[in-house]
Amino acid sequence: MADSDVESRVDAEAAERRTSHVLYKAIPQVVVLVLTLIGVAYTSMTRQALVGYWEFLALVTGLVCVISGWPHAHTRADRVRLVWTQALHWTAFLVAMNLLLISDVQRMLSTDATGLAILLLLALGTFVAGVHTLSWQTCVLGLVMAMSVPAIAWIEESALILVFVLLMLLVVGAIILTTARRGRTSDGHLGEEPL
């Protein structure tokens, strides 16, 4: 009986280590996703194109792709190829992004559309980079970024509805809290004790 408890405890600890290892390896992808969403939100709120920010983010994403593809590049030639292909890949992204940010193109697109187009380009570039580096985490990051494009568009279109729903939730929460407090004080749990 004691041996099975020890074995189950060891198995649970091993599963926990595997889970924490996977989560630890996903930190760079999560950081890129958060930085991307911050950039889109800032662009949508300020109505300004952040050329330097997007260029920085493309470089960071390229670095994350190289890091995530490094374990799959076993020889020195594979590693050199990985670095060069990712450098060319993200340079092409930067060129496409800067074409979107040219003032003539900016006159045709709203800042919201530009931000979403850049996010879609970044999502496509990230997914393709994940395919080339054999990194499923980077592919998932690209898919999440791509799925956030329609989500962001919906949130921007539905902002008034979302504010109304949030206000309703706050009112309902306040009513529940007030009712719960009144119930506790009428039961004498929180009221003054008799002398």
Q: If pLDDT is split at 50, 70 and 90, which confidence band does 144 have?
A: confident
CA distances from residue 179 to 169, 185, 190 in whole angstroms, order as listed: 15, 10, 14
Domain segments of the chain: what residues? 2-157, 158-195
pLDDT the model gives residue 185: 64
How crowded is the C-beta side of 42, counted as CA atoms within 13 Å?
A: 11
CA dihedral 165, 167, 168, 169 (to 10 degrees): 90
Mean pLDDT of 115-137: 87
162-178 pLDDT, tens digit each: 677 777 888 887 788 77
pTM given for the model: 0.65
% of the chain beyond a pLDDT of 70? 74
pLDDT the model gives residue 63: 93
% of the chain beyond a pLDDT of 90? 18
Mean pLDDT of 7-25: 63
Mean pLDDT of 21-38: 79
> In the predicted model, is pLDDT for residue 152 greater than 80?
no
pLDDT the model gives residue 52: 81
> In the predicted model, is pLDDT for residue 30 greater than 60?
yes
